[in-house]
Amino acid sequence: MPIDEVQPEEAGASPVSSQEPKARRALSRLKRELTDDELASPGVQKLLLDLLERTEEENSALKRFRDQYYQSDKQKDILAEKLKTHVALEVVSTGCVAVGAAAIVYSPVAWEHQPNGVIALGFGIVMTIVGIVAKVVRP
């Protein structure tokens, strides 16, 4: 599948190419160990310092990404917990309304056997009101 083809779940997203560091092929066959005389050379010291500075800059940039990752991971966990709470509240609210409606529907049948009809009607009204209030008032 070509990268330019946009998938339905990726609408609005733009492809990002990964930038992998290119290997220095010209320097790949050089010996890596340096003698004390070579290390004393000012050119080698400047190259090593330049490499050290670039590595420190890259390290600080990666630390920012790490911090952003941990912040977004923590935010994701907080939002997941809030979603669980809202789902549980929706289940309770829907259950109360359903049981209340069933009790109200049952009350005409139970009306013939007093006080069961009054109890069923009162219970149904209370449960329906509790379900509606639970849906309206959210934490």
Q: Is the entire prediction scored with pTM above 0.85?
A: no
Per-residue b/e over 56-81, b at no fewer than 16 CB within 10 Å? eeeeeeeeeeeeeeeeeeeeeeeeee
Please give the span between the terminal C-alpha atoms of the chain, in angstroms, as a whole number. 46
Q: How far apart are the C-alpha atoms of 16 and 46, rounded to whole Å?
A: 35
Percent of the chain with pLDDT over 90: 38
> E strands of the chain, at which residues?
none
- pLDDT on residue 12: 55
Q: Given this model, what pLDDT does residue 9 score? A: 54
pLDDT, tens only, 112-125: 888 988 999 999 99
State residue 111's pLDDT score.
87
- Answer yes or no: is pLDDT of 10 > 80: no
- Write down the pLDDT at residue 1: 46
Q: What is the pLDDT of residue 82?
A: 82
According to the model, what pLDDT value does residue 114 have? Answer: 84
Q: What is the pLDDT of residues 35-74, one digit of tens each?
A: 888 888 888 889 889 999 999 999 998 998 888 999 999 9
* Residues in contact with 134: Cβ distance below 8 Å, sequence separation at least 6, in sequence order: 89, 92, 93, 96
Rounded Cα distance, 26 and 42, in Å: 22
